[in-house]
Amino acid sequence: MQGNSLRGYLLAGLGGACWGTLGVVVKQFYAMGFASLQVASLRLGGGGLLLSLVLVIIKPGLLKVRWRDIPFLFIYALTSVALFNLCYFTSMQYGTVTMAVMLLYTAPAFLVVLAFFIYRESITPVKLAALFLTLVGCALVVKAYQVANLSVNKTAILSGLTLVFFTAYLVYSGKRPYKIMIHGR
Task: Using the predicted structure, report yes or no on whether residue 185 has a pLDDT greater than 50.
Answer: no
Which residues span the domain enclosing 21? 3-184
Task: Using the predicted structure, report yes or no on whether residue 12 has a pLDDT greater than 80.
Answer: yes
Task: Using the predicted structure, report yes or no on whether residue 40 has a pLDDT greater than 70.
Answer: yes
Task: Quick: pLDDT tens for 55-80.
Answer: 899 989 888 888 888 888 888 788 77
- pTM for this model (two decimals): 0.76
Structurally, the chain folds into a number of domains equal to: 1
d(CA 181, CA 159) in angstroms, rounded, equals 23
Closest Cα partner for 91 from 157, 43, 29? 157
Average pLDDT over every residue of 5-17 = 88
Question: Distances from the Cα of 120 to the Cαs of 63, 110, 114, 138, 161, in angstroms?
Answer: 36, 14, 9, 26, 22
